[in-house]
Chain A
Amino acid sequence: MIYKRYITVCLLFTAFIFYNLLSFASILNEDCLGCHEKFTGFNHGKANCNECHRDITSIPHDEKLKKPLCNTCHRPTDEYYKKSIHSFKKINCKDCHNTHFLNKDKKTCIHCHPNVTHKTLPAKEKHLNAVDCLACHGKAKAGNINIQINTGKKDVIKLKDIDRDGNNLIDFIEWDILLNTINKELKGKTEIIKNYDIKTDNPHIVNKKSVSCNFCHSEDGLFRYARLIIKGKKTFEINIDPKIFVHELPSIEDYKKTIHGKKGIICSDCHISDKPVSDRICLKCHEDIYDVYKKTAHAKDGATKCTDCHNPHKIKTYKELSASERVMVCARCHKDYIDKHKWLPNTVLHFKYLECSSCHSPESKKGMLFSLAVKGEKDTKALSYVDFEKIFGSKADIGNIIDSNGDNTISMDELIFFVNSLRKKLNKDVVVTSSIAVTEVHHNYSEKNLKSKVCTECHMTDAPFYNYMYLALPQKDGMLFIPVKGTILSAIPTSIFIDLCIIGETKIKHDDIKAFFNADFREKPKILKELGFKLIDFMGITIIFFIFAGILVHILLRIVVKK
């Protein structure tokens, strides 16, 4: 019985397939084109006439035929399209697509929207040239930037010259150096071609309202990836920071996280008219700073306004900016800062760890900031609050965890223990990074021509920042700065503290030697351990002393025995 039923089902299924095949294939395209000559050479993929005009079963056909429905085949696209503004406005597929000749008369946005003013779009021409309509009005999901520089047959740009720190990424400073080289070597004879490549999810989703500026111009904006291609004698490529080309802009949400936003300052407190915010607005609260600033070269004749350097919409306070980010503030005007500092040995290296004001504002207080980061293959990424939250939970006080003996200072042992425990928990290579930063800003930056002897201000055992060393820890809102014990630098293992060496910290001081000899006998090993790299000097000087003593004895013996 079951066997018979199985055969019946099979027969019925075969009959169904045949019926379908016959019904589609029954009308040949040539037969249709016999009358409908104007569609000769039509093209809609590989579809036959009958596949869309399904109600034609024989020729000649009925005069009144149903209109073919696109969504019979293009169902997913139709689903997308239903969400689009065009669908609400009752615009059909055929209004844009020529259904018989797909590539003919294909309408782009400009056919219906020829004169869009984009009145509110800042830098209109730049934006409209760089990206197409769908970038803002469609649903973009990823963006890449390709920057191409043709240097002709010359070989003026070399990879090692532009990626000075070898981290395989061109950052703001390195890009600036590159632009300088291009201007100097090629004298503007080359063009920098910028190509903003945006991948949209489906071109059929189109919104009238464009995405907000922050969709691209924010910290986690659309353009995550940028590539620099240099075409010269040899062509090479390297990653480049996309923020150089699509910079960050403020948003209301972000503003609330800024120090101004947190203190309850609202937009209209500063933006009292549509004119740019003037210094007078700032000095309502920051009068004491302005008193210093107004006497300096920057403020002369109103040359530089507060907002030329400060961005009140930035989430990061000045304190939280890294040295190289702070350099970029000055570099907005002082673009030739690298060339001007060619006298300074290891120029680029200095700017990696130093900000301009550490020399040009002598009255500012300098300190050394340490932070925790994960060392990757190519670059080192600072640990964020989220990383700490994942490990310790949101309620844990990280400051207390590190400072295990509660003396509000981090010693070498505490830091090593903490870094090692982080390494175990994260299973990553956690390291301590550092930079020299101004901890208390004095707004007089008029100091110039500091070439003479300035090196020894920092490269000394008693450089000012050794007295102000802090570990910066990211908190939910802002940063926590915990003082670090001064002896840390000479003894911390190189495996966790890699990048900073300003020589001063590994040179022995008179005080160190005095402390060693005055210390209790039991304390001596501990002092020796804390001396770390200073032991080199300690041993060196001791051996020289013994050599001289030996020679003196030898000379004496020569004289005495001869007699």
Chain B
Amino acid sequence: MKGTYIHPLPIRIWHWINAFIVIVLIITGLQLRIPYISIFENYRSVILIHKYFGYAMTISFLFWFFYYMITGGFKKHYLLKITDIKAIPNQVKYYMYGIFKGKKNPHTPSKDNKFNAMQKITYATIMLIFTPVISFTGILFSDILYFFTWINVIGGLRVLDAIHVISAYIFVFYLIVHLYMSTLGKKIYSHTKSMITGYED
């Protein structure tokens, strides 16, 4: 294989499983939020799919979290270093201008530092803030009476719903941008290919 090996197998498998879970959750979530959109015929089954895929997402998150905890990937790939912060303007300039001119990406992914500064910020926010928040609020929704006191501490069902839905919107924003930016590699499919084979061109 050509290129640098940056995505280890467990993370590649996790990525695609998680992607599937997130997409199912977004589709079912969309129908839950807007019942007029009838993707599945039975609304109740939508609730159940959303609920069990939600549990699956929690497990998937825990796998990702402990994988990086054990392999020490957080420090390598997610911790924002001073050099990263200094590199942000260049990175923005690249996406806003350089890319059109066919310039080279200022960040070269390596096995020990696979994300650029902006990726680090985005992925860490999504994975370490919004995934736990959306999973936790979702679990509270799974048996409202059972978690009644917890929900009241948060401020009631409407606040819980608001937190869950805001996080869901952020996931949608993220996903759209993520999908588009996956086409910004050397070739349109380069990034996607590397997430399958592990090797970045």
Q: Mark A residues whose CB is within 8 Å of B.
A: 160, 164-166, 343-346, 348-349, 352, 451-456, 459-460, 494, 498-501, 503, 506-507, 533, 536-537, 539-540, 543-544, 547-548, 551, 554, 557-558, 561-562
The reply to whether B43 and A456 contact each other, CB–CB distance below 8 Å, is yes
CB distance from B147 to the nearest CB of A (A): 9
The reply to whether A548 and B176 contact each other, CB–CB distance below 8 Å, is yes
Q: Which of A499, A536, A548, A558 contacts B169 (CB 8 A)?
A: A536
Q: CB of B102 within 8 A of chain A?
A: yes
Q: Which of B35, B44, B155, B166 contacts A494 (CB 8 A)?
A: B155
Known: A456-B35, A494-B159. A166 touches B177 (CB 8 A): no
Known: A345-B44, A544-B173, A544-B176. A506 touches B158 (CB 8 A): yes
Chain A contacts for B11, CB-based, 8 A: none
> Nearest residue in A to B43 (C-beta to C-beta)?
A455
CA distance A548 to B156 in the complex (A): 34
New contact pairs (20) apart from A160-B146, A501-B158, A540-B172, CB-CB < 8 Å: A165-B148, A166-B149, A345-B51, A346-B143, A346-B144, A349-B144, A453-B44, A454-B44, A459-B43, A460-B35, A494-B159, A501-B156, A501-B160, A501-B161, A540-B165, A544-B169, A544-B172, A544-B173, A548-B176, A551-B176
Sampled A-B contacts (22; CB under 8 Å): A166-B145, A166-B148, A344-B44, A345-B48, A346-B143, A452-B44, A454-B44, A455-B47, A459-B43, A494-B155, A494-B156, A499-B156, A499-B157, A501-B161, A507-B34, A533-B158, A533-B162, A536-B162, A543-B169, A544-B172, A544-B173, A551-B180
CB distance from A453 to the nearest CB of B (A): 5
Q: Which one of B35, B99, B100 has the highest number of Cβ atoms from chain A below 10 Å of its Cβ?
A: B35
CA distance A533 to B165 in the complex (A): 10
**Contact mask for chain B residues 159-187; partner A; CB cutoff 8 A; 1 contact, 0 none:** 11110011001001100110010000000
**Tally of A-B Cβ pairs under 8 angstroms:** 98
Q: Which of A452, A459, A548 contacts B35 (CB 8 A)?
A: A459
> Nearest residue in B to A547 (C-beta to C-beta)?
B176
The reply to whether B169 and A348 contact each other, CB–CB distance below 8 Å, is no
Q: CB of B101 within 8 A of chain A?
A: yes
The reply to whether B148 and A536 contact each other, CB–CB distance below 8 Å, is no
Chain A contacts for B166, CB-based, 8 A: 536, 540
Q: CB of B83 within 8 A of chain A?
A: no
Q: CB of B119 within 8 A of chain A?
A: no
Q: Which of A348, A558, A562 contacts B145 (CB 8 A)?
A: A348
Q: CB of B104 within 8 A of chain A?
A: no
**Contact mask for chain B residues 10-46; partner A; CB cutoff 8 A; 1 contact, 0 none:** 0000000000000000000000111110000111100
The reply to whether A164 and B42 contact each other, CB–CB distance below 8 Å, is no
Chain B contacts for A165, CB-based, 8 A: 145, 148
Contacts of B93-123 to chain A: CB distance below 8 A: 99-102
Q: CB of B125 within 8 A of chain A?
A: no
CB distance from B80 to the nearest CB of A (A): 24
Chain B contacts for A456, CB-based, 8 A: 35, 43
Chain B contacts for A506, CB-based, 8 A: 158, 161-162
- Nearest first, the 10 A-B pairs at minimum CB distance are A501-B157, A561-B100, A540-B169, A455-B43, A456-B35, A166-B148, A164-B145, A498-B156, A501-B158, A551-B180
> Nearest residue in B to A343 (C-beta to C-beta)?
B44
CB distance from B40 to the nearest CB of A (A): 10
CA distance A453 to B162 in the complex (A): 24
The reply to whether A507 and B33 contact each other, CB–CB distance below 8 Å, is yes
Q: CB of B152 within 8 A of chain A?
A: yes
Q: Which of B43, B99, B169, B173 contacts A453 (CB 8 A)?
A: B43
Q: Which one of B166, B172, B180 has the highest number of Cβ atoms from chain A below 10 Å of its Cβ?
A: B180
